[in-house]
């Protein structure tokens, strides 16, 4: 399995969950110094280039938004340009007297920038591509647009959110839990906390029984806090560790160790390609607008229609969906899972599990339905719950299941049970590592019980595809995927053909209509 790790923050009925990270350090910071490129904005009137007449600043000057930055001239127009940011001038890229083209960088300004926390938590391993690629595309031009809209101040990158206790600007009086929340901790933990200047009320609830704060919570708070703040002058050392520290492998990490050793018995081969998600991207708004009511949280449920289709006969209601299974937005993942399940129906090989017989040749057991493992990275470790008979569920139902699974996984201790992780497992595994960063391709590892193949999904990105259109190219949303398969039973050509079958559904979602009519 590919190790994936993700920091999640969930807002759930007013409670906050303290989520420790497997990868701490920079993930915990909320603001950092960023060098912003300031481009020469489009002045309008068809002007394509200007001469820079005069800089009003020099490197290392402090500058505030709307301070004069420089003056440029184009034929008969003299234009004063003001700074869109508060910050420090890092570097001047165009000299006085030089000509700069519209859209080129004029200077670099160092600003303090807040990282947008992910507010979308509808799926455990969400492919948050519907929000993130747009952000990454817009970042270079965001300076231009803010130069144009000089009426408003700089737009904030996040909606109002509760501050995480690791946030350097977190103040307990303002952001902390209510003072009536009990702080449970054993005397030894209290002593340890006091020694290290830790306010236990900031760690409520802890990871121990009944929400007790464990020593581990305090340790994690300290190591995270030390690495998070670059602003607090007292925490000048990078991470507080001064000597070698011996750590035992946790149960799940040791489980991963053992599984990986066994995986060496499986001959792997890989196959990578990109999927074009543009068509799917276009469908999402419609799909989101028609989420069945029993999957929607109370508040988002649509108002009752004046004419109800159920007035003649009320069918039995669908099974009650737990609150953890309700969501308001789809992501790409349920769609990818559904189409994968469909492809698996067409390709029996990928519905097969290997049975090693001690006396005779190994056999393949082909199941009637598609069982897919989904890699889930949780605070307590890496798990692979199974979506059983995924081909029989609608995308909406799959989305609900994913959300429920991720909710269970995020519990401390882990809420996943053998019900979600049956012994027989799935025959194909899926890992959404693209949600973590901007990875294009990965090389996932197959473990016994993981099936005959595993796919890792990269990050969907908007790219310019020169093959499309009439040769002039088009902007398409592409996602890299990397398959690894068990070469004892799967041929290279078979895997490639299977992936092409999957692509056929993913890139032409309209084909799914054929099943409904």
Partner 1 sequence: MLSSRLPWSNFFRLYSTAPTSPQHSIYISNSTNPYFNLSFEDWLFRHKEPKTPLLLLYRDDPCVIIGRNQNPWKEVNLSILHSRKDIPFIRRRSGGGTVYHDLGNTNFSIHLPRSSFDRHKTAQVILRAVRSLEVDAIVNERNDICVGSEKVSGSAYKIVNKRAYHHGTMLISTELNTLGDLLHTTKDAMQTRGVASVRSPVRNLQHFNPSVTHESFVDAVVQAFREEYQCEDDVQSVNEEEYQDLEYIQTGMSELPSWEWGYGQTPEFTYPINETFAWGTASAKIQSKHGIIIDFSLSINSEAAPPATDAGISDENLKSVEKLLQGRRYGSVSAVEIRDALGPNGPVDDIASWLEKSMNS
Return the number of the residue (97 or 178) whose C-beta is nearest partner 1: 97
Give, as ranges, the residues between 288 and 347 that touch partner 1 (CB under 8 A): none
Return the number of the residue (75 or 320) whose C-beta is nearest partner 1: 75
Gap between the Cα atoms of 376 and 51, Å rounded: 55
Cα Rg of the chain (Å, integer): 27
Return the number of the residue (87 or 381) whose C-beta is nearest partner 1: 87
Nearest to 483 by CA among 340, 381, 333: 340
The residue from 150, 158, 290, 363 that contacts partner 1 (CB under 8 A) is 150
Give, as ranges, the residues between 399 and 438 that touch partner 1 (CB under 8 A): none
Enclosing H/E stretch for 406: helix 395-409
When asked if residue 76 is in the footprint of partner 1 (CB under 8 A), the reply is yes
- Strand 268-276 and strand 474-486: the pairing is antiparallel
Gap between the Cα atoms of 500 and 505, Å rounded: 9
User: Of the ranges 72-80, 86-94, 100-108, 443-451, which one interacts with partner 1 (CB under 8 A)?
Assistant: 72-80
Is cis: bond before 201, omega within 30 of 0? Answer: no
When asked if residue 56 is in the footprint of partner 1 (CB under 8 A), the reply is no
What residues pair up with 185 in beta bridges, in sequence order? 213
When asked if residue 82 is in the footprint of partner 1 (CB under 8 A), the reply is yes
Return the number of the residue (75 or 510) whose C-beta is nearest partner 1: 75
The residue from 48, 64, 78, 300 that contacts partner 1 (CB under 8 A) is 78
Judged by CB under 8 A, how many residues of this single chain contact partner 1? 20
| HSE-up of residue 423 (Cα within 13 Å, Cβ side) | 0
User: Of the ranges 65-73, 203-211, 305-313, 471-479, which one interacts with partner 1 (CB under 8 A)?
Assistant: 65-73
Nearest to 48 by CA among 83, 71, 70, 72: 72
CB of 71 to partner 1, least distance (A): 8
CB of 96 to partner 1, least distance (A): 7
Gap between the Cα atoms of 325 and 420, Å rounded: 14
When asked if residue 65 is in the footprint of partner 1 (CB under 8 A), the reply is no
Q: Are 36 and 465 in contact (CB under 8 A)?
A: no
The residue from 3, 19, 34, 79 that contacts partner 1 (CB under 8 A) is 79
Gap between the Cα atoms of 165 and 163, Å rounded: 6
CB of 50 to partner 1, least distance (A): 10
Burial class of residue 302 in the structure, from the number of CB atoms within 10 Å of its CB (0-12 exposed, 13-18 middle, 19+ buried): exposed
The residue from 42, 49, 51, 110 that contacts partner 1 (CB under 8 A) is 51
Tokens read off for 191: 């002593």
What x/- string results for residues 84 through 123 when contact with partner 1 is judged by CB under 8 A?
Answer: ------------xx--------------------------
The residue from 32, 35, 48, 80 that contacts partner 1 (CB under 8 A) is 80
Nearest to 94 by CA among 34, 65, 53, 61: 53
Return the number of the residue (153 or 285) whose C-beta is nearest partner 1: 153
CB of 53 to partner 1, least distance (A): 5
Gap between the Cα atoms of 229 and 28, Å rounded: 9
User: Of the ranges 30-38, 66-74, 199-207, 355-363, which one interacts with partner 1 (CB under 8 A)?
Assistant: 66-74
- Alpha-helical (H) ranges within 86-155 are 132-148
By CB under 8 A, name the binding residues for partner 1.
Answer: 43, 45, 51, 53-54, 66, 71, 73-80, 82, 96-97, 150-151
């Amino acid at each position: 399995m590919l190790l994936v790790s993700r920091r999640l923050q969930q807002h759930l009925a007013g409670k906050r969950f303290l989520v420790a990270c497997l990868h701490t350090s920079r993930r915990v910071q909320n603001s950092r110094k960023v060098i912003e490129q300031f481009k020469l904005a489009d002045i309008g009137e068809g002007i394509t280039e200007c001469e820079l007449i005069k800089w009003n600043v020099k490197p290392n000057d402090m500058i505030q938004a709307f301070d004069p930055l420089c003056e440029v001239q184009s034929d008969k127009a003299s234009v004063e340009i003001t700074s869109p940011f508060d910050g420090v001038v890092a570097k001047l890229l165009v000299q006085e007297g030089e000509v700069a083209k519209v859209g080129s960088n004029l200077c670099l300004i160092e600003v303090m920038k807040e990282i947008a926390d992910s507010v979308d938590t509808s799926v455990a391993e969400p492919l948050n591509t519907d929000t993130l690629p747009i952000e990454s595309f817009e970042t270079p031009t965001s300076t231009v647009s803010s130069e144009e809209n000089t009426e408003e101040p700089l737009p904030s990158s996040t909606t109002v959110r509760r501050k995480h206790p690791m946030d350097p600007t977190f103040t307990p009086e303002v952001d902390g839990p209510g003072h009536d929340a009990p702080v449970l901790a054993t005397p030894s933990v209290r002593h340890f906390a006091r020694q290290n200047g830790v306010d236990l009320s900031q760690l409520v609830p802890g990871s121990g029984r009944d929400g007790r704060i464990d020593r581990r919570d305090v340790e994690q708070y300290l190591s995270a806090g030390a690495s998070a703040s670059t602003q607090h002058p007292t925490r000048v050392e990078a991470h507080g560790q001064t000597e070698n520290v011996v750590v035992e492998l946790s149960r799940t990490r040791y489980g991963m160790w053992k599984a990986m050793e066994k995986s060496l018995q499986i001959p792997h081969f890989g196959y990578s390609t990109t999927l074009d998600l543009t068509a799917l991207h276009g469908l999402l708004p419609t799909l989101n607008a028609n989420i069945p009511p029993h999957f929607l949280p109370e508040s988002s449920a649509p108002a009752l229609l004046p004419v109800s289709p159920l007035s003649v006969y009320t069918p039995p209601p669908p099974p009650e969906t737990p609150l953890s299974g309700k969501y308001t937005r789809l992501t790409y993942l349920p769609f990818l899972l559904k189409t994968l399940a469909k492809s698996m129906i067409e390709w029996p090989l990928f519905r097969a599990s290997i049975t090693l017989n001690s006396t005779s040749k190994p056999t393949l057991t082909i199941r009637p339905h598609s069982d897919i493992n989904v890699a889930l990275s949780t605070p307590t470790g890496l798990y692979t719950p199974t979506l059983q008979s995924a081909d029989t569920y609608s995308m909406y139902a799959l989305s609900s299941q994913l959300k429920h699974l991720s909710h269970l996984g995020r519990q401390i201790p882990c809420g996943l049970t053998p019900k979600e992780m049956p012994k027989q497992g799935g025959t194909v595994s899926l890992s959404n590592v693209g949600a973590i960063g901007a990875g294009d391709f990965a090389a996932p590892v197959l473990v016994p019980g993981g099936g005959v193949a595993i796919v890792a999904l990269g990050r969907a990105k908007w790219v310019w595809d020169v093959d499309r259109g009439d040769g002039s190219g088009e902007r398409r949303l592409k996602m890299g995927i990397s398959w690894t398969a068990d070469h004892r039973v799967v041929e290279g050509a078979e895997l490639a053909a299977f992936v092409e079958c999957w692509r056929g559904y993913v890139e032409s979602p309209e084909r799914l209509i054929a099943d409904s009519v």
